[in-house]
Structures are given as C-alpha cells and as structure tokens.
Amino acid sequence: MSRAVTADHVLFDECIRAFRLDDENWAPFDKGPSYSFLFTPFELSIPWQFKEYHVASSVQVRLAGSNSAFISKVCNPEHVGGHNSHLFGIALSAIASFSWLKPCKSTRDGYLCRRELTDLDYSKLALNHPVLVAGPGANHSRVSEDKLYDLYKELEQLTSKLLSVDIKTYRIAMQSIRLVHLSLLVKRDDFGLAYLLAVSAIEAVAQHAIKRNKVKKHPKEAEWKLRAKEDSMFEELFKSYLESRGNNQYLRERFVIFIEKFAPVEEWTNYIEHPMSDQADTIKAYGDPHRFEKYPEDLSSKEINSIISDAYAHRSCFIHRGEQPPHTDPSPSFHRFFQDYRSYDGNEITDKLLLNYELLISLAKHSITNWLNTK
C-alpha cells in the first residue's frame, strides 16, 4: 500500500505496484471508480479504450507565450481504487514516454482526480507539463489519426506485455522504463543527465540479460596460464590478474553485448527517422546520402563496438567527475545517427564519432522491448 499522504513527492515503487497487482488477494483501500491524468506533448484528438483502462481525448490549455498543455483524464483499472489513484497515472506516463520516446507526465497528487474539473482546475493541471508548441525547439503538437493509431497500438502491445510477464521481469522492465522516462523529461535541462539515464536504462537490463561469463576472456589468458606454471614470479602476477578479473563485473562489456544482441546494428535505420527527412529524400534523389554523414553500415563491427563503448564511458565520466558528454549538438538537424567530435591535446588531433541522443534513446527502447519480448 502507498503512503497515506504522498505530500507532492513520487516514490516510483508505489507506482509500479499501482499499475499491476503483485498480490491476487489485494483489495483496494477505497473501492470504486478512480481516475488519474496523462499529460502528453501532443493533442490526443480521439479517446483510447484499452482492455484495462480508458484514456480520454485531450483538453488543450493555452499558457503564456508559445506554451500549451494537453491533458487527458484516465479511467483507471478497478484494482487501483480511489486512494492515491494518481500513482497509476505516473506509471502510465512512464510507459507512454518509453513507448513513444516523447516526454509525458502525470500529477504528483490525486486531489483533482476525484471531481469534475472546472476551468480553474484545468489551469492548475496545465502547470504540471507545459509544452512549447511554436518557435525553435518546439514540439509537433498536431498528430494525424494514422499516427495516433500507431501510437495506440505501440502502447497497447507494451502494456499487455508488462501485464503478462512474471512479476520479477515486470519490475526490472518498469525500473528501466522509468530511467528512459526521466531521461526524456530532463533532456532540455541537462543533456549529460539525460544521456546518463539512457545508458543506465540499458545497463540495468543488460546485467540481467547478459551473464558475466558471456564476456570473452583475454585472448592470451591460456598462454599466461602455461607460463605461470614455469615462472613463480609470473605465477603471482597471474593470480593477481585472476583475482582482479573475478571482482570485475564487466558492466561495459555486457552493455555492448546486450545492444549487439537485442538492438542489432542492421536494425538501426528502422529505429529513427532522419531529423530532416524531407531534405534527406531530396538529397538521396541527387546522390548518395552517405556522402554527407556516416551510416551504421559504413562502419565495421569493431568501430560500432567502440562507439557504443564510448557512450558508456561518457556516462561514467558524468557520474564520477561531473563531465558532460562531448556532444556539441543535443538534437542534430543534419545527422541521423552520429555526430563528429574532434579534440586536440596539444600534440595530436583525435576524431571520433558519437552516438546521437536520439539513437541512444531508441537503442534503449528497442533493446529493452526486444529483451522483454523473449520473456
């Protein structure tokens, strides 16, 4: 059961329990119909009926400047009950964000979930998730009915899967889904934190999906073992190496293997559209688009592995030293997969390719979803 008073704070474990019962004998504290809210970055022009819950079409509230809010009321499943019914909405907003890779939110309390809403109530709700709808960096707030149907089916499939897997798998998935959710929410405020959260979402599942013994041993380990039998001093060194290896969880290596297995490079072109697809189509008509930017198929598997591994290293630098990733553009307009990075240490120039955030967050979504679909 959740806290008696949530006091404008979110403990996501409560939301995980609210979305799906882990105890068949559980009875809600306050039985009867219950509601929550889903704030989307686009207008939901038609209502959505799911097996377990219902999402109403959105109400647009215009705010100051070029900002609006899109508010949908959610009719919760029966098991939720009226007490802290907003927790279901928070979980749903995380799942929707993960499914669509668009930032969604809900309320941090359930005070407005229990009554018919006035214009003043809608104005209060709008403050939870203002969306920029015009100007540089604006969201595309108008979505076609065909696209809305695709979004509906994606959310329906993910929801059904989360409700059908065993509880342990459900919790692992929801914890990673929340990391992706938070990444999308904070990207505009702190790119480095968003990048960190996206990498961590993948790592969280990779630790369960890729066992430590799947990491290849050093290619010369057999040779070192033979030499240790003949050289007592080298034997001590070899034992120290084995001890160190035994304590190493090889998290970076497992991170790379997980992406290779559950989001193979051959599928990357299906994960994201070109940020300027109209212009990209025009360029393609006049020549090879690979002349203007690097595509995954232009790189060797070793180069791809190095780029993925670097993403993990950037995350570690942010955690341990507060260093932002070396990216110079949070949302490149002309580069679909990678951006170039050049550094100079006073002696030599180093050129590297960096995973764009859009590709990284797509790898998180698809690798975790593909892993979940094996359960």
**Beta partners for residue 105, in sequence order:** 39
**How do 349-355 and 338-344 pair as beta strands?**
antiparallel
Q: Which residue has the tokens 């108008």?
A: 142
Distance CA 295, CA 248 (A): 33
Higher pLDDT, 328 or 161: 161
Residue from 288, 314, 339 nearest 199 by CA: 314
Type and span of the H or E element at 75 = strand 67-75
Q: Which residue has the tokens 């929410």?
A: 185
What proportion of the chain, given as a percentage, has pLDDT over 70? Answer: 88
Q: What does pTM read for this prediction?
A: 0.88
- pLDDT tens for 168-210 read 999 999 999 999 999 999 999 999 999 999 999 999 999 999 9
C-alpha distance from residue 248 to each of 240, 281, 295 (Å):
12, 47, 33
Banded model confidence at residue 214, pLDDT cuts 50, 70, 90 = low
Residue 89 identity: G
Res. 67: pLDDT tops 90: yes
Distance CA 326, CA 309 (A): 14
Banded model confidence at residue 26, pLDDT cuts 50, 70, 90 = low
